[in-house]
Amino acid sequence: MAKKTRLLIPGPTPVPPSVAEAMARPLIGHRTQDFGDLYARLQSKLKKLFGTANDVHILTSSGTGGMEAAVANTVNPGDRVLALVAGKFGERFASLARAYGAEVDTLEFEWGEAVALDQVGERLNQGKYKAVLATHNETSTTVINDIRSIGALTRGTEALLLVDAVSSVGGAEIKADEWGIDILVTASQKALMVPPGLAMLSVSPRAWEAVSRAQSPRYYFSLPAAKKSIIKHNTPYTPAVSLFAGLDVALDMIFAEGLAQVYQRHQTLAAATRAAMTALGLKPVAPEVCASPLVTGVRAPEEMNADDLRRIVVQEYGILLAGGQDRFKGRVFRIAHMGYVDAVDMLGTIAAMEISLARAGQPVRFGSGVAAAQAVFAGRK
């Protein structure tokens, strides 16, 4: 059979049929009352999701565009910035600040570890920073960082806290205002279950002050331009209208399920996946205490290339897993359980992975990984 494609990569993630339907509806003009109503609806839903009283701007770009908007509008050439780097996306955030002429201090952590709070506190005591750049869910290492605690540290300083939450919003708790996040950036194609093409970001009053003093050239990603338009419930440049329509439905799905339930579902999927892999004798990359609820990285058996396993899984079962990036290449595979994914998806995936491991010559007792996951789903563990 033409393989059923099962996207278990950390974005893009499976799009629910109701979201796809909404995107297939006839387009509306973007300078109309209809679009204004749509953007106003999205505002109120996104504020609730972000935990913020501030506007949430939607940019027609992928997540990196949102990260660029955060930096370009606040950081001036020569500004000192502290980048918390514990994986590929932490590195990207630091590179972005360097591209805008910032003097970037990086605080680096081993891949697979979370940002150590004591070291952050130390650095903040040692020097003044214009901004701290942090990654909420580091998909490259499948670690989630404690943004709440990082916010508690930056709050007492002059540093703005800019957070890449591209892959976490809609799947893991985040509270922009309560946690002291100045700019929170996310994107459509992860836990939000919409195809790629939208970045969203909230901006605190403290960040707007920095925006007013920003000197770097910017146009498409200009936050003052976005601010001027949002008053009329609009965007400065042509928005990806169909993705907005899809997001409207996807957010309704999230609130219909309930935010707490959505976060719990992701945690349960992660716990079940972790339990299954451990039962199969495989080692998760992230320690349990900081393991991402959205994606589980697993070390391949010593004698095997992770990409060989991935090849069997996709060829035989149509399940696309992610490989390891950079230093994890060939050594790690990653199973995303993000967005429109449920227990049956993961159980079928784990069973298919067991057969694939056996096909690759690994010793596997069929059903043993599945049983560990079932115990989690049944609430027995």
CA 370 to each of CA 223, 276, 346, 379: distance values in angstroms, whole numbers, following the listed order? 48, 6, 9, 14
CB distance 184 to 67 below 8 Å: no
Name the one range near a second copy by CB under 8 A: 36-44, 84-92, 178-186, 260-268: 260-268
CB of 370 to a second copy, least distance (A): 5
Q: Does 278 bind a second copy (CB under 8 A)?
A: no
| Bridge partner list, 161 | 132
For a second copy, give the closer residue by CB, 6 or 45: 6
Name the one range near a second copy by CB under 8 A: 16-24, 56-64, 114-122, 141-149: 16-24
Distance CA 72, CA 356 (A): 46
- Span 17-46, contacts to a second copy by CB under 8 A: 18, 24
183-187 vs 160-164, strand pairing mode: parallel
Closest CA to 270 of 189, 377, 182: 377
CB of 1 to a second copy, least distance (A): 5
CB distance 330 to 320 below 8 Å: no
Q: Does 378 bind a second copy (CB under 8 A)?
A: yes
| 319-323, strands of its sheet edge to edge | 6-8, 319-323, 332-336, 295-299, 283-284
Name the one range near a second copy by CB under 8 A: 76-84, 138-146, 156-164, 365-373: 365-373
| Type of residue at 350 | I
Q: Which one of 4, 205, 260, 303 is in contact with a second copy (CB under 8 A)?
A: 4
Binding mask of the shown chain, residues 324 to 353, with x at each position contacting a second copy by CB under 8 A: ----------------x-xxxxxxxx-xx-
With the C-alpha atoms ordered 196, 197, 203, 208, is the resulting torsion angle positive or negative? positive
Spatial neighbors of 158 by CB under 8 A, at least 6 apart, are: 128, 129, 130
Q: Does 374 bind a second copy (CB under 8 A)?
A: yes
Q: Which one of 9, 71, 262, 282 is in contact with a second copy (CB under 8 A)?
A: 262
CB of 152 to a second copy, least distance (A): 32
Q: Does 259 bind a second copy (CB under 8 A)?
A: no
For a second copy, give the closer residue by CB, 17 or 205: 17
Name the one range near a second copy by CB under 8 A: 109-117, 173-181, 228-236, 368-376: 368-376
Distance CA 373, CA 381 (A): 9
Q: Does 281 bind a second copy (CB under 8 A)?
A: no
* CA triple 13-374-276, angle to 5 deg: 70
Name the one range near a second copy by CB under 8 A: 123-131, 152-160, 206-214, 251-259: 251-259
CB of 347 to a second copy, least distance (A): 4
For a second copy, give the closer residue by CB, 211 or 253: 253
Q: Does 257 bind a second copy (CB under 8 A)?
A: yes
Per CB under 8 A, residues contacting a second copy are 1-4, 6, 16, 18, 24, 253, 256-257, 261-262, 265, 317-319, 340, 342-349, 351-352, 354-355, 358-359, 365-371, 373-375, 377-378
